[in-house]
C-alpha cells in the first residue's frame, strides 16, 4: 500500500539529498514498472548462495567462515557469489538477501511503504515481548517495533529527538563533557604522549556520559569517579549486549529452541541495564519536576516524560544501545584518518582556529554553524571507515533486485561499506579526500557532484522515516570532540594499522595508541 500524502511529507523531512526526495513522488509509476519486471525476472530460488548445510559447517573449525567477523563474512559472499546472494535461514532464522548495487538500494527504499520494516535483534524482541512484558506491556520502542505501533512511538519521540530547536540547546552541554574528557586524556598520556591502550573504552565512557546528559538530564560523574557503582557496570553490560546480540542473532545458535548459556547471560545484562536506566530516569524526573517553571531550558527528558514515563525509559535505553559504541566508533574513524593524513588535519585546524582562537573558546550554536571542512572530514571518514556494514530493510512489496524476483517480506542487507570502496561510485575511492564533500562556492547544486555518482551509495544514517533518530545528537557529539582534540593536539599514529572487527557495528579490537602532542596556544 502506498503512503498517504501526510506520511510522504514527513518522510521528506528526513531525506539527505533533494535528489533522493524525488524517489517518493514517483512511487506509483515505479510500482507499475516493478510489477512488469517481476513477470520477466529470475526466480528467488535461483539467487546464488550456500546451502543451509554448507552455511552451518562453514562456521565450524576449518570452515570458510570460521572465526570471521561479520564484514569479512559478508565480503566473502560477494567474492564468491557476486552482486546478489542469499544467506539461507537456519535454526529459526530468516533468509537474508545481500545486495551491493545502489540501484537495488533505491528500489528497496522506494517501495518500503508507509511503515518501513527494519528488523531489530530477535533476542531484543523476545526480551521485550516475553521475558519482560511485565514492564514493556506492548510498548516495544523504535528499535524493535514494526508497523502502526512503531510509527506511533516514532512520531511521539521525534519532537524530542529530531527537532533542531531542541538539539541546538545541547551544544554547550555536549562541549562541557568533551572538555572534561580532553582534560582527562591529557593526564592519561604516557611519556611519549600516547593515549592509554584502552582509549576506545575511554571513548565509550565519554559517549555514555554525553548521551546520558542529553537523555537523562544529568551528569553521571564518570570522569571524576562520582558516579555510583551501578553506572560503572553499564559499560560492561553494554559490551555483553553487543557481543552476545551479534553472536545469537547473526551466527548459528540454538537459543530459540532452549535458553542457552549465552542467552541467559544476555538476559541478565539487559536486566541490569533496564534497572540502572530506570533509576537514572527517576532522578531525571525529580530534577524536571524541581525545574518545572524553567520553560526556556526544556530538554529531551522533559519532552519524553510529557509523552509517558515508560516511553521515556525505553527511549533512553534505546539511545544507550544505539549511541555509545556507534558514536565512539565514528570518532575513532575520524581521528585515525586525520592522524594518517596530517595535511588534511592541518587544513581542518586552520578552519577551527577561526571559531576557537583560544583553546578554551566556547562552542556556540552561532560559531559552529559554518564548519564545512569539519563536516566534510566526518563524512569522508564515515565513507572509508563506516560505523556499520550497511542498511537493513524488509521489502514492502514484491520487487526485482539485480534481475531476481524478491517477494514481499524478504530481509535485505544493503552493503554500503563495499560500495564506498568502489571507483565506480567514488573517484580515488581508497583516498581520504574530504574535499569531495565540499560544495563549490556560488554553486546552486545541493550536493557536490563529485561526492558520489549515485545518491544511494552513501547513507551512513539510513534513509527515510526509519533513519537514525539520534543522528543530530551524534553529529554534534562527534563534531565537538574532534574539534577539541584537533584544536588542542597534533594527532599522530605511529603503529601498525589497528584491527577493526564487526560485532553488529565496526569497532577497533586492538589498542588505540594515538599520539596527542600539544600544540601552541
From 259, 264, 215, 275, select the one nearest 240 (Cα to Cα): 264
Q: Is the pLDDT of residue 344 over 50?
A: yes
Helix H or strand E segment including 133: helix 133-136
Residue 19's pLDDT band (cuts 50, 70, 90): very low
Question: Are 15 and 106 a contacting pair, CB within 8 Å?
Answer: no
The whole-angstrom separation of Cα 232 and Cα 33 is 55
The whole-angstrom separation of Cα 376 and Cα 366 is 19
Cell of 185: 586524556
Residue 91's pLDDT band (cuts 50, 70, 90): confident
Cell of 35: 510489477
Q: Residue 282: what pLDDT?
A: 83
Q: Residue 30: what pLDDT?
A: 56
Task: Give mean pLDDT, residues 416-443.
Answer: 89
Q: Residue 254: what pLDDT?
A: 92
Q: Is the pLDDT of residue 4 over 70?
A: no
Task: Give mean pLDDT, residues 276-297.
Answer: 77
Q: Residue 400: what pLDDT?
A: 96
Residue 294's pLDDT band (cuts 50, 70, 90): low
Q: Residue 40: what pLDDT?
A: 86
Task: Give mean pLDDT, residues 126-151.
Answer: 93
Task: Give mean pLDDT, residues 302-314.
Answer: 87
From 417, 462, 451, 467, select the one nearest 75 (Cα to Cα): 417
The whole-angstrom separation of Cα 354 and Cα 483 is 12
Q: What percent of the chain has pLDDT over 90?
A: 60
Phi and psi, residue 414, nearest 5°: -100, 115
Q: Residue 451: what pLDDT?
A: 62
Q: Residue 135: what pLDDT?
A: 92
Residue 31's pLDDT band (cuts 50, 70, 90): low
From 317, 287, 399, select the one nearest 35 (Cα to Cα): 399
Task: Of 81-95, 130-144, 333-347, give the range with the top mean pLDDT.
Answer: 333-347
Residue 297's pLDDT band (cuts 50, 70, 90): low
Q: Is the pLDDT of residue 11 over 60?
A: no
What's the predicted TM-score (pTM) here? 0.89
Residue 2's pLDDT band (cuts 50, 70, 90): very low
Task: Give mean pLDDT, residues 409-429.
Answer: 94
The whole-angstrom separation of Cα 297 and Cα 300 is 10
User: What is the rounded (10 degree) CA torsion for 77, 81, 82, 85?
Assistant: -70
Ordered alpha helix ranges (H), 14-67: 18-25, 27-40, 52-58
Q: Residue 371: what pLDDT?
A: 95
State how far Cα 163 lies from the chain centre.
Answer: 19
Q: Is the pLDDT of residue 231 over 70?
A: no
Q: Is the pLDDT of residue 446 over 90?
A: no
Which whole-number Å values give the CA distances from 340 to 46, 186, 327, 344, in the listed order?
44, 21, 20, 9
Q: Residue 423: what pLDDT?
A: 93
Q: Is the pLDDT of residue 33 over 90?
A: no
Task: Give mean pLDDT, residues 53-59.
Answer: 91
From 411, 415, 404, select the one nearest 74 (Cα to Cα): 415
Residue 38's pLDDT band (cuts 50, 70, 90): confident
Q: Residue 327: what pLDDT?
A: 96
Cα end-to-end span (Å), the chain: 60
The whole-angstrom separation of Cα 465 and Cα 447 is 21
Cell of 266: 544476555
Q: Residue 347: what pLDDT?
A: 98
Task: Give mean pLDDT, residues 247-263.
Answer: 91
Residue 143's pLDDT band (cuts 50, 70, 90): confident
Which whole-number Å values give the CA distances from 145 to 124, 303, 468, in the listed order?
10, 21, 14
Ordered alpha helix ranges (H), 164-227: 164-167, 171-188, 199-216
Q: Is the pLDDT of residue 385 over 70?
A: yes
Question: Are 320 and 277 a contacting pair, CB within 8 Å?
Answer: yes
Task: Give mean pLDDT, residues 18-30.
Answer: 45
Q: Is the pLDDT of residue 515 over 60?
A: yes
Q: Would you say the C-alpha torsion 328, 329, 335, 338 has a positive or negative sign?
A: negative
Task: Give mean pLDDT, residues 213-234.
Answer: 76
What are the DSSP calls for 421-455, one per residue? T-TTTSTTTTS--GGGGPPPTT---SS-TTT-SST
For the chain, give the mean pLDDT: 87
Biggest CA–CA distance in the chain, Å, is 68
Amino acid at each position: 500500500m502506498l503512503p498517504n500524502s501526510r506520511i510522504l511529507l514527513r518522510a521528506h523531512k528526513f531525506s539527505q539529498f533533494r535528489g533522493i526526495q524525488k524517489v517518493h513522488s514517483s512511487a506509483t509509476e515505479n510500482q507499475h514498472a516493478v510489477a512488469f519486471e517481476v513477470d520477466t525476472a529470475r526466480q528467488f530460488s535461483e539467487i546464488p548462495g550456500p546451502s543451509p548445510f554448507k552455511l552451518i559447517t562453514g562456521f565450524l573449525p576449518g570452515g570458510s567462515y570460521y572465526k570471521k567477523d561479520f564484514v569479512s563474512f559478508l565480503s566473502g559472499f560477494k567474492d564468491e557469489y557476486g552482486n546478489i546472494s542469499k544467506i539461507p535461514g537456519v535454526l529459526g532464522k530468516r533468509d537474508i538477501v545481500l545486495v551491493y548495487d545502489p540501484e537495488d538500494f533505491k528500489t528497496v527504499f522506494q517501495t518500503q511503504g508507509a511503515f518501513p520494516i527494519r528488523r531489530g535483534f530477535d533476542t531484543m524482541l523476545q526480551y521485550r515481548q516475553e521475558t519482560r512484558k511485565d514492564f514493556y506491556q506492548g510498548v516495544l520502542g523504535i528499535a524493535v517495533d514494526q508497523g502502526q505501533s512503531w510509527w506511533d512511538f516514532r512520531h511521539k519521540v521525534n519532537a524530542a529527538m529530531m527537532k533542531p530547536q531542541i538539539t541546538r540547546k545541547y551544544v554547550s552541554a555536549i562541549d562541557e563533557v568533551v572538555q572534561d574528557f580532553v582534560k582527562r586524556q591529557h593526564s592519561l598520556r604516557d611519556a611519549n604522549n600516547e593515549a592509554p591502550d584502552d582509549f576506545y573504552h575511554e571513548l565509550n565512557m565519554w559517549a555514555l556520559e554525553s548521551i546520558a546528559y542529553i537523555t537523562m538530564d544529568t551528569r553521571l560523574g564518570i570522569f571524576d569517579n562520582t558516579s555510583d557503582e551501578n553506572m560503572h557496570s553499564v559499560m560492561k553490560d553494554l559490551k555483553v549486549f553487543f557481543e552476545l546480540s551479534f553472536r545469537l542473532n547473526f551466527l548459528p545458535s540454538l537459543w530459540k529452541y532452549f535458553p542457552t548459556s549465552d542467552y541467559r547471560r544476555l538476559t541478565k545484562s539487559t536486566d541490569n541495564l533496564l534497572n540502572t536506566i530506570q533509576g537514572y530516569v527517576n532522578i531525571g524526573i525529580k530534577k524536571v519536576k524541581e525545574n518545572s517553571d524553567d520553560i526556556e531550558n526544556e530538554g529531551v527528558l522533559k519532552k519524553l516524560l510529557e509523552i509517558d514515563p515508560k516511553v521515556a525509559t525505553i527511549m533512553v535505553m534505546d539511545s544507550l544501545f544505539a549511541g555509545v559504541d556507534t558514536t565512539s566508533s565514528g570518532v575513532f574513524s575520524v581521528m585515525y584518518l586525520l592522524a594518517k593524513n596530517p595535511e588534511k588535519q592541518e587544513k581542518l585546524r586552520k578552519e577551527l582556529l577561526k571559531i576557537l582562537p583560544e583553546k578554551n573558546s566556547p562552542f556556540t550554536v552561532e560559531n559552529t554553524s559554518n564548519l564545512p571542512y569539519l563536516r566534510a572530514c566526518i563524512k569522508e571518514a564515515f565513507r572509508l571507515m563506516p560505523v556499520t556494514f550497511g542498511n537493513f530493510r524488509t521489502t514492502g512489496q514484491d520487487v526485482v533486485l539485480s534481475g531476481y524476483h524478491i517477494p514481499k517480506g524478504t530481509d535485505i542487507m544493503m552493503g554500503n561499506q563495499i560500495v564506498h570502496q568502489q571507483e565506480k561510485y567514488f573517484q580515488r575511492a581508497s583516498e581520504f579526500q574530504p574535499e569531495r564533500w565540499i560544495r563549490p562556492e556560488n554553486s546552486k547544486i545541493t550536493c557536490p557532484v563529485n561526492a558520489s555518482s549515485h545518491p544511494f551509495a552513501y547513507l551512513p544514517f539510513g534513509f527515510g522515516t526509519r533513519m537514525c533518530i539520534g543522528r543530530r545528537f551524534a553529529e554534534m557529539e562527534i563534531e565537538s570532540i574532534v574539534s577539541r582534540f584537533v584544536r588542542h593536539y597534533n594527532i599522530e599514529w605511529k603503529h601498525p594499522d589497528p584491527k577493526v572487527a564487526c560485532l553488529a557495528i565496526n569497532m577497533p579490537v586492538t589498542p588505540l595508541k594515538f599520539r596527542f602532542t600539544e600544540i601552541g596556544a
